[in-house]
Structure 1
Amino acid sequence: MISNSIRASRPILARIARQQWAITSRRTFLTPTAIRSADLVQDMYLSQLKTYKPPPLKANDAEGHVQKFVAPKAPKSPEESDIAKDLKAYESQAVEIEGQASESGAPVPEEDWFEEEEEEAPAAAH
């Protein structure tokens, strides 16, 4: 059944294809090939571009647009005046050695840096 419908549609498709080809061939035959005409505006623009010469640059052209560079002043160090005093104080300090008693003679208690906090017991549910 399908083969019969395909055989029947072949001549119809061939006729439609011939009609389409005839229409397109007539159209291409009737339309003349256009000669590309010169674009006057484009030609004038290109000729003006070729003849343009930019004005020469002068040394003082950037005068009002660029600021003069001025190096910032070096800041004063707040420690410069006290360096001599601090150095003398450092040299006069007593050397502390771990595990030895301090000048007062009392033993230094050892600090426990890792102390866990005790967790509170959860309150009983009522």
Structure 2
Amino acid sequence: MLSQISRASRAVAARAARANAVQVRGFIAPTVSRRADFVQELYLKELKAYKVPAVKETDSEGQVQVFSMPKTPASPEEANLADSLKTYESMAVEIEGQDASAQSATGVAQLPDWLEAEEEEEPHH
């Protein structure tokens, strides 16, 4: 019985609390440290204190190779071209499937005439 009374009193108290409660929308601001981040302060301080070193003309020595113009190519001599053309024209023609010794013996090789139409053999009577 005591437990029933306590339950009933809790229910009544809850109803009364709900009826008297005024709902107010509240704004809760996140707690932010007033002091800025220590690492960020240190980083910005070092950035502001940095001095760019002066660039000298001699800084690149030993780091970069010295440019030198390449030699101009020698032009072929025209007399040698004429001699090599004459030797090319006087060379013997090599034909695949023929012996080089047979070709030199006959002089100029006889090439078969591939465009010539073959004659049909007449049947024997």
TM-score (norm 2): 0.39
Larger Rg: 2
TM-score (norm 1): 0.39
Structure possessing the higher relative contact order (Cα contacts under 8 Å, 6 or more residues apart) = 2
